[in-house]
A and B are shown apart, each in its own frame.
Chain A
Amino acid sequence: MDDERDPLIDEIAASLKAPVRVSPELDARVLARIRRPRPGPLARAWRWLAEPRAIAVSPLAAGGALAAALLLAALGIRRERAARPGRGAAPVADASPTAAARGAGDARLAGARREMGAGARVVHFVLIAPGASSVAIVGDFNDWSTTATPMHRASEGGAWSVSIPLRPGRYAYSFIVNGRQWMPDPLAPPAPHDDFGKPNSVVTVGGRAT
């Protein structure tokens, strides 16, 4: 067997077994790398946070955390929906009790609502009109007066809003932008008929009239 061994293999083996000659400077370079300065407290804190580790959590705690996260997400979505009307927002009164509660913090509105009876609800109207200098709402609830119900600029993003207490019923309405441009609510149901060439939207307040 030994006779059949290839001399080339022996040569390679001998080469591999030979001690490796290392430059004397290598040790110094390696040690210099190892002796890095101690990181500061912020770096240590970041490393502590970023370092993966196993955490033991009971199923009960995990379930509670998940439920809280879902609740927060749901609340966030509701707020986001209310605040992102596109160019307009469907009035929210017909959405039922939650809508009424949105205006409940305003004492004036709450008083007006009480005067109108237990069935009244506060309806929050919003229109996004960034370039507008004024926006008013007109409809069955204000005798179609073009000046009775100005809307208020709600944000720098061009949102105009107003809250109006309404009894149960169905109301036609429209917006007037800059005092002359009639405009239906882009996201509210359109009135099925247009008697005067300027289409309306409609809002319906549910419940029993008192």
Chain B
Amino acid sequence: MSGRALLVMAALAALPSLARSARAQDARLAGRLAPAVRAAVDAQIDSARADRLPADPLVLKALEGASKGASGPRIVAAVRALRHDLRVARDALGPSSTEAELVAAASALRAGAAPERIERLRTARANTPLTVPLAVLADLIARGVPADTASSIIGDLARRGARDDGFFALRAEVERDIMAGVAPLGAVTMRAREIPTAPAGPPTSVPPPEE
């Protein structure tokens, strides 16, 4: 085999890794991160892509840290933590989940929701986007509603066919109550009863009600 042929073969063998590196080189990161930080973030993005996780949320997390003047290690740690949350979210929601759903689920996880609760939410609302229920779940927990209670209420509403508007209304009313001095737990318990849900359909195979 000639030297030239060997060179071509080596180049072909290196193509996949070159392509991976090129994909990780998100143009938005150029000039926003120090070279060492960028290399570490690129490695996280590569790992996410290998796991079939969306890379965009990781890029945005790094850009957020850069804009806020965070240190390199802090940026890398935040990106790594988000990648972890996205993976747990994907495991809970399934491989067909959208990027928006994964971002919302990662936020709910970070707020304190349990992965099992998120998995049950997917079962309860299999063919409808879960972005809004997950986002409202995260928001309620962030407002001080205990994670278990918030998960139960959101799961119950999803199972009973509540629409996105209903979830938004729940969040808005709870926020209003909390600002008026009502305890978060009392507010969400009271307001959840007011959210319209779809009329009961024919019996289907559903998991037992959450506590």
Contacts and interface: CB of A to CB of B under 8 A. Distances in A.
Contacts of B81: 195
Interface stretch (B4-12, B44-52, B65-73, B182-190): B65-73
A158 interface: no
A170 interface: yes
B141 interface: yes
A169 B99 contact: yes
A170 B107 CA distance: 9
Contacts of A207: 129, 164
B65 A204 contact: no
Interface string B143-175: 100000000000000000000110010011001
B197 interface: no
Interface in B56-95: 57, 60-61, 63-68, 70, 74-75, 77-78, 81
A196 B63 CA distance: 11
Interface string A135-175: 00010100111100000000000000000000111101000
Interface string B89-132: 00000000011100110011011100000000000000001011
Given A94-B168, A170-B104, A202-B107, A144 B63 contact: yes
A90 B168 CA distance: 12
Contact of A191 (B98, B107, B112, B168): B107
B202 to A, nearest CB: 25
A193 to B, nearest CB: 5
Interface in A169-203: 169-170, 172, 182, 189-193, 195-198, 200, 202
Nearest to B56: A140
A75 interface: no
Contact of B61 (A170, A195, A197): A195
A77 interface: no
Given A140-B60, A192-B107, A197 B143 contact: no
A167 B136 CA distance: 17
Contacts of A189: 139, 142-143, 171, 175
Contacts of A85: none
Interface in B19-44: 28
B60 A144 contact: yes
Contacts of B55: none
Given A169-B99, A192-B142, A195-B61, A206 B111 contact: no
Nearest to B142: A192
Contact of B142 (A96, A191, A195, A204): A191
Interface of A is mostly: loop
A78 to B, nearest CB: 14
A104 to B, nearest CB: 19
Given A94-B168, A206-B131, A196 B68 contact: yes
A170 B171 contact: no
B138 interface: yes
22 contacts: A95-B168, A95-B172, A140-B60, A144-B63, A145-B67, A167-B100, A168-B100, A169-B99, A170-B131, A189-B175, A190-B143, A191-B142, A192-B108, A192-B111, A195-B78, A195-B81, A196-B68, A202-B135, A204-B135, A204-B168, A208-B129, A209-B129
Interface of A: 90, 94-96, 138, 140, 143-146, 167-170, 172, 182, 189-193, 195-198, 200, 202, 204, 206-209
Given A143-B60, A209-B99, 8 more contacts: A143-B28, A144-B63, A144-B68, A191-B107, A193-B110, A196-B64, A196-B68, A202-B139
Interface of B: 28, 57, 60-61, 63-68, 70, 74-75, 77-78, 81, 98-100, 103-104, 107-108, 110-112, 129, 131-132, 134-136, 138-139, 141-143, 164-165, 168, 171-172, 175
